[in-house]
Amino acid sequence: MSAVPPDAYLVLSAVLFSVGALGVLLRRNALILFMSIELMLNAVNLAFVAFARVWGDLGGQVIVFFVLVVAAAEVVVGLAIIVNIFRTRETVDIDDVDLLRG
């Protein structure tokens, strides 16, 4: 039984990261944007674990926990901001949130 080579995880991580980044750049719904950012963070986590495996170093896996905690804190603040906006404007489409410009 042959193991999946580490390169495959790294490629998957890069693909997930790109999907997330494209989501941020192309989608217009604040919630979807937010999900895309979370996808990017999780892609990074996958990369950390894969690299940790390659180097035989636990450090990379420990970093994942830090990232998870930071992502959780970001979710709390981000969702609060989005909910707050929705209460006033009843939309979370970022093209409609365009008061400030120039």
CA 64 vs CA 31, 37, 46: distances in Å: 23, 16, 8
Q: How far apart are CA 90 and CA 51, in angstroms?
A: 43
Number of residues located near other proteins, criterion CB under 8 A: 45
Residue 84 structure tokens: 């707050």
Q: Which positions from 1 to 40 touch other proteins by CB under 8 A, shown as an x/- string?
A: ---------x--x---x--xx--x-----x--xx--x--x
In whole angstroms, give the CA distance from residue 72 to residue 52. Answer: 22
Binding site for other proteins (CB under 8 A): 10, 13, 17, 20-21, 24, 30, 33-34, 37, 40-41, 43-44, 47-48, 50-51, 54-55, 57, 59-60, 63, 66-67, 70, 73-74, 77-78, 80-82, 84-85, 88-89, 94, 97-102
